[in-house]
Chain A
């Protein structure tokens, strides 16, 4: 086959098909006479700027879709210059894999992929911290924290301060939040709240996703309110209730008053 014939064959093909065609013809480089012309076709097609060759096409497409993910949009809106924005998108990818595992899809493949991605991040400089950032969007508290940041923004916090708070929360959310489960006793929730207040923490969070747990949270909050412990310690409370009658959700943000 002559170079002209090859070029005729490939000139209207998408780049991937060109590469597949050429390798099938045994072409592995451009050292042969006239192959520079073939090289030019490849370069021109790549320079159109529309192809990205990635290890996993499906995963890259998901990452691309996440630009429209409500939580990614929220983070971008709140802290648009956050230096780890791309790790948040990685976190959303892991969350997506976790969700598919839960419904029994590609369980082994997705579990291995999560492990591989996390190991890669852990091996990076400052890997432990980076991994915390990636894990954050996979937790139930991520949306609560975003709500808190949004409140701060509404209260006039500048972008750099929001980034500081976001960073603090990534570091601290495990200590400053309690996911109340059905089996948790009111006294445990009460102790958590008292501990946070005694340590004068700037903010802490409660989250419950079931009837029994929601009732526990509401009972505790009533007791603490009656004690006026929040007032005395200059805390304000923001409660968000959602879900349904059968599956109610309550999110409570307790934070120091913004003066």
Chain B
């Protein structure tokens, strides 16, 4: 079974530093920029861009997603499904 996820909050500067470690950045209006320098559209509402303040930075290796409860739930569900799939393949292997 995969390790339990650790949730943390970060201040503005720490968040920016983490993004920069993965070649992302934050523009002067607070929007996250991809390594190619483009703003990231919200997956839930494509008419807006993701602000660093409201983003979630999740493993995989660093993925920038919406910070809404629904987006976090989606991330968790996919992670759970991955774990279930791994558990199943583990069981299969042991049989």
Contacting pair B68 A51 (CB below 8 A): no
A87: chain B residues at CB < 8 Å are 70, 73
Encoded as 1 (CB less than 8 Å from any A CB) or 0, chain B from 5 to 46 comes to 111111101111110111000000000000000000000111
Report the nearest B residue to A134, measured CB to CB.
B70
Which one, A100-108, A121-129, A135-143, A146-154, is touching chain B?
Answer: A121-129
Interface membership of chain B positions 49-76, coded 1 if the CB is closer than 8 angstroms to chain A and 0 otherwise: 0000111111111100001111111111
Q: Are A63 and B21 in contact (CB under 8 A)?
A: no
| Contact (A20, B14) CB under 8 Å given A46-B21, A52-B7, A54-B7 | yes
B53: chain A residues at CB < 8 Å are 55
**Interface membership of A158, Cβ < 8 A:** no
Is B67 touching A50 in the complex (CB atoms < 8 A)?
no
Contact across chains for B67 and A54 when beta carbons are under 8 A apart: yes
Closest B residue, CB atoms, query A84: B70
| Contact code string A201-233 (vs B, CB < 8 Å = 1, else 0) | 000000000000000000000000000000000
* Cβ-defined partner of B5 (8 Å) among A56, A64, A123: A64
Q: Contacts of B57 on A, CB cut-off 8 Å?
A: 52-53
Contacts of B67 in A (CB 8 A): 54-56
**Judging by beta carbons under 8 Å apart, are A43 and B61 in contact?**
yes
Find the B residue at minimum CB distance from A14: B6
Which of the listed residues B44, B46, B53, B80 has the most CB atoms from chain A within 10 Å of its own CB?
Answer: B44
Query: Which of A39, A49, A64 is within 8 Å of B21, CB to CB?
Result: A39
Q: Secondary structure of the A side of the interface? A: helix
- Does the CB pair A56–B9 fall under 8 Å? yes
Query: With A52-B56, A57-B8, A117-B69 in contact, is A23–B76 under 8 Å at CB?
Result: no
CA distance in complex: A16, B6 (Å): 10
Question: Which residues of the partner chain B approach A249 to less than 8 Å between Cβ atoms?
Answer: none
Q: Please, which residues of chain B bring their CB within 8 A of the CB of A27?
A: 17
Can you name the residue of chain A whose Cβ is closest to the Cβ of B13? A23
Contact B7 A19, beta carbon cutoff 8 Å: no
Check A51/B8 contact, CB under 8 A, given A19-B17, A27-B17, A46-B21.
yes
Assess A19 versus B18: contact at CB under 8 Å? Given A47-B61, A54-B67, A86-B70: yes
Given contacts A28-B13, A89-B69, contact A50 B5 (CB under 8 A): yes
Instruction: Tell whether A46 pairs with B11 under 8 Å between CB atoms, given A52-B58, A54-B56.
Output: no
**A28 engages B7 (CB within 8 Å):** no
C-alpha spacing A23/B68, complex, angstroms: 26
A90–B66 Cα gap in the complex (Å)? 14
- Given A52-B75, A117-B69, do A16 and B8 touch, yes or no (CB 8 Å)? yes
With A50-B4, A54-B9 known, 17 other A-B pairs at CB within 8 A are A22-B17, A28-B13, A46-B22, A49-B3, A49-B61, A51-B8, A52-B6, A52-B7, A52-B72, A54-B56, A56-B9, A57-B9, A59-B69, A86-B71, A86-B74, A120-B68, A123-B47
Ordered by A's residue number, 9 sampled pairs between the chains whose C-beta atoms are within 8 Å are A14-B6, A16-B10, A19-B14, A19-B17, A23-B17, A28-B16, A52-B75, A57-B8, A89-B69
Q: Which 5 A-B pairs give the minimum distances between C-beta atoms?
A: A19-B14, A86-B73, A89-B73, A42-B21, A49-B59
Which residues of A come within 8 Å of B, CB atoms? 14-16, 19-20, 22-23, 27-30, 39, 42-43, 46-57, 59-61, 63-64, 66-67, 85-87, 89-90, 93, 117, 120-121, 123-125
